[in-house]
Amino acid sequence: MDTYAGLAVAGKRVLVRSDLNVPLDGGTITDDGRIRASLPTLQALSRAGARVVVTAHLGRPKGAPDPAYSLAPVAARLSELLEKPVAFATDTVGPSAQEVVAGLGDGDVALLENVRFNAGETSKDDAERGAFADELAALADAFVSDGFGVVHRKQASVYDVAQRLPHAMGGLVSTEIDVLRRLTETPERPYVVVLGGSKVSDKLGVIDNLLDKADSLLIGGGMVFTFLAALGHEVGTSLLEADQLDTCRDYLRRAEESGVRLVLPTDIVVSPTFPSGPGPHDATVVAADQMPADQMGLDIGPESAAAFAAALAPARTVFWNGPMGVFEVPEFAAGTRAVAQALTEIDGLSVVGGGDSAAAVRQLGFAEDAFGHISTGGGASLEYLEGKQLPGIDVLS
């Protein structure tokens, strides 16, 4: 891969920051998409004769070892997918890590325990973070940044290590950045953006930035109820961010003034309570401006799903981030399924923007290669599309 062709890796210890932050149910991995996405770079380095030392995080431990967040299950799955042994260090930079790295031969792969078990990884104090980065860097001769899901974080294994070792971008990060450049700099038109998920506040910067770039903006998920309330509609017990009502009114006004088509659902699937357990669950379709005061919206309705699919049909570029409803529950999955299906039929670039959207397409049974690109980093994608600088990318240039 040309991304790290400039690094001499044969016989060298290469520290790779991967994103292996997979969902676990107990010790069982429920979606190994991020592990599979990390394979090409690890395989290429191994074939080139590098002694590959992988560092990654899982969840949000509080800067100390926590068995619930151990990467041991990930090491086992990584070994299966690579079809070769993966040595596992039971600490991040301690005696186990040092022993495991010392024992590597050319082409071997090791995984260090959860990097966030050390408080220095996420510390806001440059000196503390730097001291931990020194220990990580001592385990390697070069660094490859391939964890796109964390490049928006100024953390020791993402940012500081790159300042201490010869470094390069991994294949996954390179691909992600290329796709995001196409979305922001040279999108083929029509360009349609679909935003869902729970909160408007999570997507403020993206809406702000893409209102000037997209031709159509389709809004679903929990965030839609703040838009509906901004129009004066009853939203019942649905998720509502009252402090964002004026912001939503402003977006609606700006869209109208700039000629961007901002599409809101015309019907909503409602239920008296949020679904818990396998169901069946009460689900009723109501007009978006006729929601009962004692019900909550949990998906866009069938009329809206069809309208969203129709709006997507002519698109040449699509970016989708955030499900249309509670897709984990069959009664509230139809809107998300309709959007995913429409993306598979795009004659152009379709990008699924990481996080819950990526999990949804896999859970709903879609083949990953039916989409142009499935991002591994929802937060990093969003920050790039907001126009923010990504520390983990900036440090590589």
Note the pLDDT of residue 3: 54
Set 36, 164, 182, 199: catalytic member: 199
113-132 pLDDT per residue, tens: 999 999 999 999 999 999 99
Which residue, 186, 195, 175, 181, is CA-closest to 324?
A: 195
> What's the pLDDT tens digit per position in 58-108?
999 999 999 999 999 999 999 999 999 999 999 999 999 999 999 999 999
| Residue 248 clears pLDDT 90, i.e. is over it | yes
Residue 57 marked ligand-binding: yes
Give the pLDDT mean for 145-150.
95
Residue 1 confidence class, pLDDT cut points 50, 70, 90:
very low
Residue 27 annotated as binding site = no
> Does 378 belong to an annotated binding site?
no
Q: What is the mean pLDDT of residues 321-328?
A: 95
Amino acid at 98: Q
| Cis before 190 (ω within 30) | yes
Residue 199: active-site member: yes
Is residue 388 part of an annotated ligand binding site?
no
Question: Which range has the worst mean pLDDT, 7-11, 99-103, 316-320, 333-337?
Answer: 7-11
List residues bridging with 267 in a β-sheet: 287
End-to-end CA distance of the chain: 17
Which helix (H) or strand (E) segment holds residue 285: the answer is: strand 284-287
More confident residue, 3 or 199: 199
Distances (CA, A) of 327 to 173, 197, 358: 28, 10, 12
What is the pLDDT confidence band of residue 2, given thresholds at 50, 70 and 90? very low
- Read off the pLDDT of each residue in 15-31 and give the average, rounded to a whole number: 93
Contacts 24+ apart (CB under 8 A), 61-68: 61/114, 61/116, 61/117, 63/116, 63/117, 63/118, 63/119, 63/121, 63/122, 63/123, 64/117, 64/119, 65/91, 65/113, 65/114, 65/117, 66/117
Whether 13 is catalytic is no
Which is catalytic among the residues 12, 13, 34, 337? 34
Give the span between the Cα atoms of 334 and 304, in whole angstroms.
10
In tens, the pLDDT along 282-302 reads 999 999 999 999 999 999 999
Residue 59 token pair:
């969840």
Interval 148-156 mean pLDDT: 96
Active site residue 6: no
Q: Model confidence at 168, in pLDDT bands (50, 70, 90)?
A: very high
Between the alpha carbon of residue 349 and those of residues 227, 314, 319, 384, the distances in Å are 28, 12, 8, 18
Is 51 known to be catalytic? Answer: no
Are the C-beta atoms of residues 368 and 362 closer than 8 Å to each other? yes
Q: How confident is the model at residue 5 (pLDDT cuts 50, 70, 90)?
A: low
| 253 is annotated as contributing to ligand binding | no
271 annotated as ligand-binding:
no
354 among annotated binding-site residues: yes
Say whether 356 counts as a known binding-site residue. Answer: yes
Q: Choose, from 196, 301, 322, 355, the residue flagged as catalytic.
A: 355
Which string of DSSP letters, residue by residue, matches 227-244?
HHHHTT---TTS---GGG
- Tell me whether residue 328 is annotated as binding: yes
Q: Which of 74-78, 267-271, 331-335, 379-383 shows the lowest mean pLDDT across its residues?
A: 379-383
Distance CA 46, CA 107 (A): 4
Average pLDDT along the chain: 94
Residue 171 CA to residue 307 CA, distance in Å, equals 37
Q: What percent of the chain is predicted at pLDDT more than 70?
A: 99
pLDDT surpasses 80 at 325: yes
pLDDT confidence band for 352 (50 / 70 / 90): very high
